[in-house]
Amino acid sequence: MIEVINVWFTYPNGTIALRGISLRIRDGESVAIMGENGAGKTTLVKHFNGLLKPEKGVVLVDGINTKETSVAKLARKVGLVFQNSDHQLFSTTVEDEVKFALKNLGFSSEEIKERVDWVLKFLDLERYRERSPLSLSGGERKRVALASVLCVKPKILILDEPTIGQDARQKRKLGELLKKYQEEKNTVIVVTHDVEFASKYFNRIVVMARGKIIADGPPNKVLTNPTILEESSLSPPQVTVLSREIAKKINNFPKDIVLFGELLNEIIARIRR
C-alpha cells in the first residue's frame, strides 16, 4: 500500500510541483494518474519509489517512510518504468539488460534465469534475447525497458507514459498485460494522457492539475465530468462523447458511459424495448 500524506515538493529552480497531495493506493488497485503537462504527475510517481523525497509531508510504502530507506531497497517492491526507454538501455543484449536489475538486487543465478525466461515470455520478447536493445524499434525498446523492471516482479508497478509511440495493437497488448499483472494481486499505476487507454484498463482515475489532485474515482465518474476534463485539459473518451450526443436527443439515456461494450449494450437494450 502507498500512503501519501499532505506532500509538498519544490524543485531547486523554485517550481512548486506538488501542493499538499494526499492519496492512498491499496494493494491490487489499478490507477491511472492523468492531467495536463506540468501538473506534477511524474514528480508524484517519483515519490513512490523514493527518487524524490517530500519537502513537507510523508510518503509511506507498506508502512515504510521513503525518507528512511534507499531507492535500491524500495526497488524490490516498487518498479518504475521511465517514459523514455533510451534513458535506461545500455547492455549489449536484451537478456543482459533484463538481468541488470536482478543482479543489482542480489537474486541467485537460478532465480535470475527463471525470471528472465518468465519476463521475456510474458512480454513476447523471446526472439530478441540475443539482440542489442539499441537496434530494436521504438516500441520494442519500450517493451525491453518494461521487461527490465517487471523481471523484479515488483508488488507495485509504475509506468510513466507507456502508450506514447505505440501502435493500436501494441497498446492493446500492453493494456491486457498490465491487467493480467494486476490480477495477480499486484498494484499497477500509470501516468498517461490517453483517456481511452485509462478508461479501458484502469479502475481508478486520479486527475491532477497545478500540483493538486482535483478528482479521484472510477472512470465513468471522472472522465465524464466536463468540469474536471476542462480543468485538466483532457478530452473525454470518444464513447462518452457519443453517449452525450445521444442523450441530447433521447430522454434519460445515460451520459456517463466510458466503455464501448456498455454503450453497445445500452443501445441494443433500447432497440429491443
Partner 1 sequence: MSYTMFSAFEFKRKDTYIHKLDPRTKMFMTIVFMTVALLFTTIIPLLITFIITLIPILLAKSVEEWLNSLKGTTILLVFILVINSFIRDLNFALAMILRLIVLITAFSAFFLTTHPDDLAQALIQMKVPFDFAFALSMATRYVPTLAREAQTIMDAQMSRGLELQKGGLTQKIRNLIPLIIPLIVNSVRRALSIAESLESRAFGAIKKRTYLYQLKLKKNDFIFIIFLTLYLLLMIYIKIYSPLASWMEWKFPL
Amino acid (1-letter code) at residue 174? L
List residues binding partner 1 (CB under 8 A): 12-13, 46, 49, 51, 70-72, 75-76, 79-80, 82, 84, 86-90, 100-101, 104-105, 134, 148-149, 152
User: Looking at beta carbons only, is 6 or 104 nearer to partner 1?
Assistant: 104
Give least dist CB 104 to partner 1, A: 3
Instruction: 170-174: list long-range contacts, CB under 8 Å, 24+ apart.
Output: 170/139, 170/143, 171/197, 173/124, 174/146
DSSP string for residues in 228-259: HHHHTT-PPPHHHHHHHHHHHHSTT--S---S
User: Looking at beta carbons only, is 13 or 227 nearer to partner 1?
Assistant: 13
Residues 243, 248, 254, 255, CA torsion sign: positive
User: Looking at beta carbons only, is 98 or 209 nearer to partner 1?
Assistant: 98
Give least dist CB 148 to partner 1, A: 6
Give least dist CB 191 to partner 1, A: 14
User: Looking at beta carbons only, is 160 or 196 nearer to partner 1?
Assistant: 160
Give least dist CB 243 to partner 1, A: 39
Q: The C-alpha cell of 134 is what?
A: 539499441
Tell me the C-alpha distance between 4 and 41, whole Å. Answer: 13
